[in-house]
């Protein structure tokens, strides 16, 4: 079965779409006086289009040495200083895939290169156009088809600069950014994504608790009772309302806590069980880049939270007017 073709959006909406994606692709070094970098095992081409083909192919494979060989000396040095995860993130975003893949180079009917990067059944495609040169600069147009749409392909103009007699990647479009700045941007984006996911998991747990209470006339003693049951064996002990991970009280970089909030109203224990509320808390397992804020959600749906430096959030913390934090 052919792989799924990635659709690429360059609109202004969304934190990771459009210009943000281009920003994450941009590579910087304007200094023509930068010293020549040592070549790696990769073959550096004298043709700017071939250089770009090799650069993106290296990014597809997550071949760090080959990828760095096509950067300017200044940018390559900054790239090597990035943490391993961020080096992988940069290469992945260059080809719009999250995992290392297989680069497939071919030619279109007009004789221009087509690069397809395939990873886990997902494929991105980039079609190269005719490059232009001016002094020590070169510009290579690349079309990214929006598969399944009758819209024209998105066109990206990659810039390269000649350094020590070889073409090196310089920019994407008009965006020229600094790798350390980009790295910090990724940290903030990853932090935000982690916190958004934690709140979404809190709400998922809350929905499961309310469903359990309606079905069994009481709340469970622990989250493990919401976990998967054997086929046809749903019971108060295993209600199959959450996956194994959330039922264990953990997901990503967050740990979840649950307590029952008793309700004194009701003529008997059964009525009090039905009227009981609950409180949920999400706390970073490792405080820092993957999670700073702690969150608190009650059975009424009120979300609270703050940067507690790893401590548990409570009902006295500030209200958070969610959408997407």
Residue 88 tokens read as 């992988």
Secondary structure element (H or E) that encloses residue 21, with its range: helix 19-25
Report CA 188 to chain centroid distance, whole Å: 11
Whole-prediction pTM value? 0.64
**What is the residue whose two structure tokens read 């350094």?**
163
CA distance 210 to 260: 12
Q: 27: helix, coil or strand? A: coil
First-to-final CA distance of the chain? 39
Residue 201 tokens read as 């998991």
Confidence (pLDDT) at 141: 95
pLDDT at 181 over 70: yes
When the pLDDT of each residue in the chain is averaged and rounded to a whole number, the result is 84
Q: Please list the helix, strand and coil fractions of the chain in percent, rounded to the nearest 5, in that order.
A: 30, 25, 45
What angle do the packed helices 179-216 and 84-94 form, to 10 degrees?
A: 90
Give the count of beta carbons closer than 10 Å to the beta carbon of residue 116. Answer: 19
CA distance 127 to 143: 5
Q: 122: helix, coil or strand? A: strand
Confidence (pLDDT) at 176: 57
122-128/132-134 β-pairing: unpaired
How confident is residue 44, by pLDDT bands cut at 50, 70 and 90? very low
pLDDT at 265 over 90: no
How confident is residue 311, by pLDDT bands cut at 50, 70 and 90? very high
Confidence (pLDDT) at 174: 61
Nearest to 282 by CA among 162, 193, 197, 174: 197
What angle do the packed helices 84-94 and 73-81 form, to 10 degrees?
A: 130
Confidence (pLDDT) at 325: 67
Classify burial at 29, counting beta carbons within 10 Å of its beta carbon; exposed 0-12, middle 13-18, buried 19 or more. buried
CA distance 324 to 239: 29
Confidence (pLDDT) at 178: 67
Structure confidence by residue, pLDDT tens digits, 69-110: 999 998 999 899 988 888 998 898 888 888 999 999 999 998
pLDDT, greater one: 295 or 87: 295
CA distance 170 to 249: 46
pLDDT at 146 over 80: no
CA distance 147 to 127: 13
Confidence (pLDDT) at 105: 95
Residue 236 tokens read as 């108060």
């Amino acid at each position: 079965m052919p792989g799924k073709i990635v659709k690429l959006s360059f609109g202004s909406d969304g934190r990771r779409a459009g210009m943000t994606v281009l920003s994450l692709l941009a590579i910087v070094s304007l200094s023509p006086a930068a010293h020549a970098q040592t070549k790696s095992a990769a073959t550096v081409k004298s043709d700017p289009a071939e250089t770009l083909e090799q650069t993106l192919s290296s990014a597809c494979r997550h071949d760090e040495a080959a990828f760095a060989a096509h950067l300017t000396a200044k940018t390559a040095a900054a790239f090597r200083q990035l943490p391993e995860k961020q080096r992988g993130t940069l290469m992945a975003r260059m080809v719009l895939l999250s995992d290392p893949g297989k680069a497939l180079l071919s030619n279109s009917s007009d004789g221009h290169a087509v690069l397809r990067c395939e990873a886990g059944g997902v494929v991105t495609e980039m079609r190269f156009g005719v490059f232009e040169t001016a002094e020590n600069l070169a510009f290579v147009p690349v079309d990214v088809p929006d598969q399944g749409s009758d819209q024209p392909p998105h066109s990206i103009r990659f810039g390269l600069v000649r350094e020590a007699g070889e073409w090196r990647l310089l920019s994407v479009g008009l965006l020229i950014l600094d790798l350390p700045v980009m790295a910090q941007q990724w940290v903030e984006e990853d932090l935000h994504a982690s916190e958004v996911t934690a709140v979404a998991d809190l709400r998922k747990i809350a929905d499961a608790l309310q469903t359990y209470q309606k079905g069994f006339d009481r709340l469970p003693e622990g989250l493990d009772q919401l976990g998967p049951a054997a086929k046809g064996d749903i019971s108060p002990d295993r209600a199959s309302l959450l996956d194994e991970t959330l039922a264990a009280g953990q997901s990503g970089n967050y740990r979840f806590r649950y307590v029952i909030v008793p309700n004194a109203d009701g003529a008997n224990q059964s009525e009090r069980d039905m009227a009981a509320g609950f409180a949920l808390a999400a706390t970073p397992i490792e405080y820092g880049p993957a999670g700073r804020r702690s969150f608190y959600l009650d059975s009424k749906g009120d979300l609270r939270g703050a940067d507690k430096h790893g401590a548990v959030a409570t009902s006295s913390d500030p209200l958070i007017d969610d959408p997407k934090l």
